[in-house]
Chains A and B, each alone.
Chain A
Amino acid sequence: DQQVKQNSPSLSVQEGRISILNCDYTNSMFDYFLWYKKYPAEGPTFLISISSIKDKNEDGRFTVFLNKSAKHLSLHIVPSQPGDSAVYFCAASGRGGTSYGKLTFGQGTILTVHP
């Protein structure tokens, strides 16, 4: 039962253009959503998060949008840079108790930004 899905295994974008990575979830109890970036031979590193009470969170070139009714979130990177090339994971967690901090990850999307 894949509760968090990233349906695009890969995305290729030209430097300077916008990268849009998508994520869908099925569990309505999820309360926090996070994006992690992973380079080869390294562990995932935190990028940005959003609470379910918001529909947008921005941090520099990175913006996450949340559509609760559609159970969909997206990560926008603008402008994209070659150093952004990595695997991007969407993750979700519940609020409080043992579900807090226990992340459910999507399968990941490989982003390649061409110079």
Chain B
Amino acid sequence: DTGVSQDPRHKITKRGQNVTFRCDPISEHNRLYWYRQTLGQGPEFLTYFQNEAQLEKSRLLSDRFSAERPKGSFSTLEIQRTEQGDSAMYLCASSLVRTGSGANVLTFGAGSRLTVL
């Protein structure tokens, strides 16, 4: 396993267009997370899945954002009608959560950088 893969690595789009990012997590991991990172800030939580179920969404995730994880494998994050404020690095992470285990260590992908013109 080569870790968490994200595609594309860079996306430049015009305001109003739709974009979709894909994340392939580590295969044995049962949780998948999406975070967003803007310049000079740490990653901010957007949403996460336990297997195929989306368990929580941040208030940062407006109605223009939708995430899916069909069959509990890869995940997609779609942004509709992009705005300049959506420009950021979108990070995917995965983890294996076991009952009674310690800190939940997330393994991050390299991210998908979005630039909205």
Contacts and interface: CB of A to CB of B under 8 A. Distances in A.
A37 to B, nearest CB: 11
A89 interface: yes
Contacts of A51: 102-103
Contacts of B95: 101
A32 B44 CA distance: 17
B77 interface: no
Contacts, number: 66
Interface string A21-41: 000000000001110100001
A93 B103 contact: yes
Contacts of A104: 45
Contacts of A44: 43, 91, 108
Interface string B34-75: 000000111111001000000110000000000000000000
A107 B41 contact: yes
Nearest to A41: B110
Interface in B63-115: 91, 93, 95, 97, 102-111
Interface of B: 4, 31, 33, 40-45, 48, 55-56, 91, 93, 95, 97, 102-111
